[in-house]
Amino acid sequence: MIRLAVINGPNLNLLGKREKSIYGILSYNDLVDMIQNYAKSKSIEVEIFQSNSEGEIIDKIHQFGEYVDGFVINAAGLTHTSVAIRDALLGVNKPFIEVHISNIFSREEFRHKSYLSDKAIGVITGLGVYSYIYAIDYFTTYLKGEETF
């Protein structure tokens, strides 16, 4: 069975409440339910974690890195600032896909730089909450060595 960890960074707990024109109307709990239901339908075990604290995110990466096969990470604002999250992901030596609900390249210039992208196996940005679903789908082939490209 494939085991994935989904890590969400600062302010994602405010989904459905903040900047709906950018992040949509689904709540964070709706997102979690969607991810869990989709993963279950694909026979994937998924651990989901959100924190507004960089240190807590790093600790969870270390913890999950002991037993998951890969990560789906939306580091949110920390994407553009955190060398420490990058180092944690590299330290556990597991593949990861960087996701963003909004299109970070259509937003402020400072959001165009990611400390994760060059080490991620892929980046999915701007496809709303479906970014998570597409990342899970990709892992179902990637972790089995079945990429078709």
Q: What positions carry a catalytic annotation?
A: 23, 100
Residue identified by tokens 């890195």 is: 65
Phi, psi dihedrals of residue 41, rounded to the nearest 5° = -65, -20
Distance CA 16, CA 70 (A): 27
For residue 121, what is the DSSP state? S
Tokens of 78: 């920390």
Radius of gyration of the chain (CA): 14
Sheet architecture: strand order including 44-50:
44-50, 2-8, 70-74, 96-100, 122-125
- Secondary structure (3-state) at 3: strand
